[in-house]
Amino acid sequence: MVQASQIRNGMVLSIDNHLWQVAEFQFVQPGKGGAFVRTKIKNLKTGRVIERTFRSDEKVNDVRVESKDMQYLYRDGSLFYFMDKQTYEQVAVTEDLIGDSKNYLKEAANVKILFNETTPIGIELPFFVELKVVETEPGVKGDTVSGATKVAKLETGAVVQVPLFIEQGEILKIDTRTGTYVERV
């Protein structure tokens, strides 16, 4: 257990039998009254972000989390299989835990899996991934409207908005935090 005044970004807390990762915190010391910590925390299972305020002397349960570099192997139904690059041990992670990250996973991708003891509790993707366009409408010659976009389906099944000049078969750099097109590779 730690005092709320010791909360920092990235910490994992156990609140009401759910694991929450601190996305943002602010220590506030008003002119009158006691100090408090205002946080934005993300539920590691559902991905939901909420705001929560703690008194600075309030005790919270912190959870020790280990991060392992792993390689995505394959999907079998609702399970995703990853391999530890050091020990070659394989770990199955449920689709619920992967969430929207599945839209950016392709075979042999390197990710970080967060563990609480031996139980996987989350996944961290690289900020950018390179994915191939498998389906999009062809660009129309002479269509030069500034900022115009169209829909493109990527090899993982993700759908993103791309500029009109992007064609099927091209490889794109995608920002996994926002799910947006960055550039052609």
Q: Is 21 exposed, middle or buried (0-12, 13-18, 19+ CB in 10 A)?
A: buried
pLDDT value of residue 121: 83
Q: Mean pLDDT of all residues in the chain?
A: 89
- Specify whether 41 is located in the same domain as 83: no
Cβ(128)–Cβ(173) under 8 Å? yes
- Residue 148's SS3 state is coil
In this prediction, residue 44 carries a pLDDT of 78
> In terms of domains, do 70 and 118 share one?
yes
Q: Which CATH number goes with the domain that contains 10? A: 2.30.30.30
Residue type, 114: L
Q: Residue 117 is part of a domain; what is its CATH number?
A: 2.40.50.140
Tens of pLDDT, residues 71-112: 999 999 999 999 999 999 999 998 888 888 889 999 999 999
Q: What is the pTM of this model?
A: 0.73
Question: Hey, is 5 helix, strand or coil?
Answer: helix
Q: What is the pLDDT of residue 32?
A: 86
Query: Which residues neighbour 40 within 8 Å (Cβ) at sequence distance 6 or greater?
Result: 22, 23, 24, 25, 49, 50, 51, 52
- Could you say which of 20, 46, 63 is where a domain stops? 63
- 20 and 46 assigned to the same domain: yes
Look up the domain containing 24 and give its range: 2-63
Q: What is the pLDDT of residue 152?
A: 94
Q: What is the DSSP string of 90-134?
A: EEEEEHHHHGGGGGG--TT-EEEEEEETTEEEEEE--SEEEEEEE
**pLDDT > 90 in the chain, percent:** 48
| 111 and 162 share one domain | no
pLDDT of residue 142: 62
Number of domains, the chain: 3
Digit-coded pLDDT (tens) for 29-67: 988 888 999 999 988 777 788 999 999 889 999 888 888
